[in-house]
Amino acid sequence: MTSDRIPRHPRTAMCAALTAAVVAAPVAGAGPASAAATAPRPVCVSHQSGLAGKMSKDLAGALRGRSGTVAISLRDHTTHTRCTLRANQRFDSASVVKVTVLGTLLWDAQRHHRGLTKREKTLAKAMITKSDNASTSKLWKQLEPAGVKAFLRTAGMDATVPGKDGYWGLTRITANDQERLLDLITHANTVLTDASRTYVLTLMGKVIPEQRWGTPAGAPGGTKIHVKNGWLERSSHGWRVHSVGAFTGGGHDYTLTVLTQDDRTMRAGVATIEAVARAVHRDLNPTAHARTLYAPTDRPGEALPAVPED
């Protein structure tokens, strides 16, 4: 267990990213084919020799040929590995914000020295395990945007902006802020008590099968999988498809956030996330037997949050 905070701008990662940008810069007069060379690439740093380079390469390979815009934030406490890609770019949250709503509910209850009511527990369970939108709206209304903002400030999720007019699915999030939340859920801290953290992880571990897609794809056997996903389609940026996951137990202690937009279809977004996830799980668990790897549903489901007409 650790309570160290995810660095907002790790010096080593920033230096590597700048170096990569210089190397990838197009030569004057280069043709359109060189445009792909300027696209940002995943940047990894690690205490384990050789792992950062391998993960950077494998993540880039998982993204090759995919048309969506992807953000990644990974943190592995076992090997002290961090990987990022567009980790500070904002995306519409869709249903992954429901973990933030639950965090806010628990934090608010802690402040008032009370446990959750039976009603709140019922709503929270439906919100996380079934991605129930009506339950989320009721909790969002109860907490109010001011309450969500207060939790975000306390949690250090400085780049997250709650959706306006009750449209919680349009909360603006970043991969780094989602990783910060996952870190608070999985490691002791002063924001959420151990009881609150256990409550969140328990619900994220009981998500119904059709919603256990995304970041769990390829996770090794013996790993406790905690996940929350979401998707949303609008006229601008097409499909947004997101997945956040925490993987604990059996010597595993890592979290992964993959956010996407500009996906042509929902399934294209799911495929991108799962390609990234498989690369991550494979590189962090090189001895895992293929027969033990988690295979997500081929019929992914998720609740579409209400949004205003474009």
- Which residues, in sequence order, are CB contacts of 5 under 8 Å at separation 6+? 156, 180, 183
Enter the pTM of the model: 0.88
CA distances from 129 to 22, 92, 99, 212, 226 (A): 44, 21, 11, 10, 10
Following CA atoms 208, 211, 216, 220 in sequence, which dihedral angle do they give, to the nearest 10 degrees?
40
pLDDT the model gives residue 250 = 83
Domain 44-292 belongs in CATH node 3.40.630.10: no
- Which residues, in sequence order, are CB contacts of 49 under 8 Å at separation 6+? none
pLDDT the model gives residue 12 = 42
As a three-state string, the secondary structure of 23-73 is: HHCCCCCCCHHHHHHHCCCCEEEECCCCHHHHHHHHHHHHHCCCCCEEEEE
Averages of pLDDT over each 10 residues, the chain, 310 residues: 40 40 37 53 97 98 95 97 98 98 98 98 98 98 97 98 97 98 98 98 98 97 96 93 95 96 96 98 94 93 86
pLDDT the model gives residue 270 = 97
pLDDT the model gives residue 38 = 64
Half-sphere exposure of 142 toward its Cβ, with a 13 Å CA cutoff? 19
pLDDT the model gives residue 251 = 87
Q: 3-state class of 132 per DSSP?
A: coil
Asked if 43 and 56 count as a contact pair (C-beta separation under 8 A), the reply is: yes
CA distances from 189 to 4, 95, 113, 298 (A): 8, 25, 17, 37
Q: What is the DSSP letter of 235?
A: S
Tokens representing 111?
A: 């402040």
What residue segments make up the domains of the chain, in order of their start? Answer: 44-292
Q: What is the DSSP string of 166-229?
A: T-GGG-EE-HHHHHHHHHHHHS--SSS-HHHHHHHHHHHTT--GGG--STTTTPPTTPEEEEEE
- H or E, element range at 260: strand 252-263
pLDDT the model gives residue 310 = 72
Say how far apart CA 235 and CA 66 lie, in whole Å.
20
Tokens representing 174?
A: 């970043």
